Amino acid sequence: MAVEILMPALSPTMEEGTLAKWLVKAGDKVKSGQIIAEIETDKATMEFEAVDEGTISQLLVAAGTAGVKVNTPIAVIVEEGESLSTAPKAAAVVAAPVAAPVAVASPIVAPAAAKAQGARVFASPLARRIALEKGLDLAAVAGSGPHGRIVKADVEGVQTSVAAKAAAAPAAAIVTASKASMPTGMSAETVMKMYADRAYTEVTLDGMRRTIAARLAEAKQTIPHFYLRREVRLDALMAFREQMNKGLETRGIKLSVNDFIIKACALALQAVPNANAVWAGDRILKLKPSDVAVAVAVDGGLFTPVLRDADSKTLSALSAEMKDLAARAKSKKLAPHEYQGGSFAISNLGMMGVENFDAVINPPHGAILAVGAGIKKPVVMKDNTTGVATVMSMTLSVDHRVIDGALGAEFLKVVVELLENPIAMLA
């Protein structure tokens, strides 16, 4: 039976992508798990693998095609012994992303109806194996893959799916209502008319820039931001960092000031656990681990890779992980789970000479810390004499629905104390 391979959803927010490269051609035989294409999303270039065996009959979308909508047929595969000219039937998807599958389509046949009608239930081999181990009836499981195919995530989460849907319903209603009332701003036509007599170059938005524009506009329109500002003296940290880097030189490790900031924020989230929270539509989720996102500038936009369990990692481990994530972010090789999640973010523009700024919260995070440059300034010392110190400005942007002023101030106080007494981060 000929089946269509559909454009996959490689992240929860993906609506379209670019079919960057085919790794197979018509007539090629493919095996389960074989990489058959590379697909660019708004955030990364990801590999796309076959689930079942067969022969590629047709490639419906050419390599390099941009703006391919999720669930659009991109190729046809036939089973052993079938003619390559066999007409495709909308039966099941036979390829899946290497990343975790995402719910993007409704089943052709509802599970209950499939069971009643005795229709074939389409599922990936891995999903079938997990279902067998758990004793699940696949006919009772709703498939989240294209054309209702049951994938790994469906059978792993079947026990919690009802509660999750119940929790998501009111949140979805709130988001829908808020989007309906959002201002859209001036249209492209209106703006272009204003500058009709001026020379300009029109820049077409790529997927990343469109996503950033939509998310940040939504964040500023829907999140009640407020801001807390503190200065921190870095002289003790700079001296401590120099001493540590000398000891780590033989291991090829060099700690940055940002590594200390990440560690300080992670520990502060543990010390002030009520600040380690995210907004979930109609409720607050308080996280136990300190999962800290760090903004990384890339060509045409930015990523916020997440350092998971940052509170329990050493400074050298955090430094190595951050370097790896930043390098792969710049080449758009991060997987979705590496830049999604977290409860808190850090945006550091100090290395670019920016003294202070206000960052926009990345939903659903409860807060983001904007870090400026360390600058030598005249200060009053502890003995009331005047002196010079390296001072860094920090601004905490806070979602008032999640964190109140006093709580945010308590969190920021712990961050400052840790940065001014860095040896405490090793305790």
The residues annotated with a catalytic role in the active site are 400
- String of DSSP letters for 119-170: PPPPB-HHHHHHHHHHT--GGGS---SGGG-B-HHHHHSTTTHHHHHHHHHH
Q: List the beta bridge partners of residue 153.
A: none
Token digits for 219? 């964040």
CA dihedral over 267, 273, 275, 277, signed as positive or negative: positive
Distance of alpha carbon 415 from alpha carbon 162, whole angstroms: 40
Distance of alpha carbon 335 from alpha carbon 351, whole angstroms: 27
What is the Rg, in whole angstroms, of the alpha carbon atoms belonging to the chain? 26
CA distances from 280 to 168, 169, 174, 288, 345 (A): 9, 11, 10, 16, 17
Q: List the beta bridge partners of residue 97.
A: 48
DSSP alpha helices (H): ranges in 202-250? 207-222, 235-248
Distance of alpha carbon 267 from alpha carbon 290, whole angstroms: 8
Is the CB of residue 391 less than 8 Å from the CB of residue 375?
Answer: yes
Distance of alpha carbon 76 from alpha carbon 55, whole angstroms: 9
Q: What is the DSSP letter of 96?
A: E
Is the CB of residue 293 less than 8 Å from the CB of residue 306?
Answer: yes
